[in-house]
C-alpha cells in the first residue's frame, strides 16, 4: 500500500465521544514494537495504538481485523526469516 509509505498521513479516528477528528500520524516506516491497547465498551471495541492511533470497531469488524492481523503477522515473520 503506497499511501502507508508516506512520511506523514492523515487518518480519521473516532473519538470516545462519537465525533470524528483528524489526526496526523508520523509513519516514518519504523515499525512499533509495542502492542495496541484493546478494550470493549458499550458494545464497541476500542483500539488505542502507538503514535496516537485510535479507532472504534463493531465486534464483527474487530474479529475480522484480528484475523487479518494474525495472517499478516505470520507472513511478516516468514519474510523476516527468509532474509536471514
CA distance 59 to 57: 6
Coil vs helix vs strand at 61? helix
Residue 68 has pLDDT above 70, yes or no: yes
CA distance 59 to 21: 22
pLDDT band at 84 (very low <50, low <70, confident <90, very high): low
Q: Report residue 50: phi and psi, to 5°.
A: -65, 155
Per residue in 14-50, pLDDT tens? Answer: 444 444 444 555 556 788 999 999 999 999 999 999 8
pLDDT band at 4 (very low <50, low <70, confident <90, very high): very low
Which pLDDT belongs to residue 41? Answer: 97
Range of the structural domain that residue 64 is part of:
2-82
Number of domains in the chain: 1
| Prediction pTM value | 0.63
CA distance 35 to 37: 7
Amino acid at each position: 500500500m503506497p499511501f502507508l509509505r508516506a512520511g506523514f498521513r492523515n487518518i480519521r479516528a473516532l473519538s470516545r465521544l462519537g465525533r470524528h477528528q483528524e489526526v496526523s500520524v508520523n509513519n516514518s516506516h519504523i515499525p512499533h514494537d509495542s502492542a495496541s491497547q484493546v478494550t470493549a465498551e458499550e458494545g464497541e471495541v476500542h483500539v488505542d495504538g502507538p503514535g496516537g492511533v485510535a479507532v472504534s470497531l463493531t465486534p464483527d469488524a474487530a474479529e475480522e481485523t484480528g484475523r487479518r492481523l494474525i495472517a499478516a503477522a505470520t507472513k511478516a515473520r516468514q519474510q523476516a526469516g527468509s532474509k536471514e
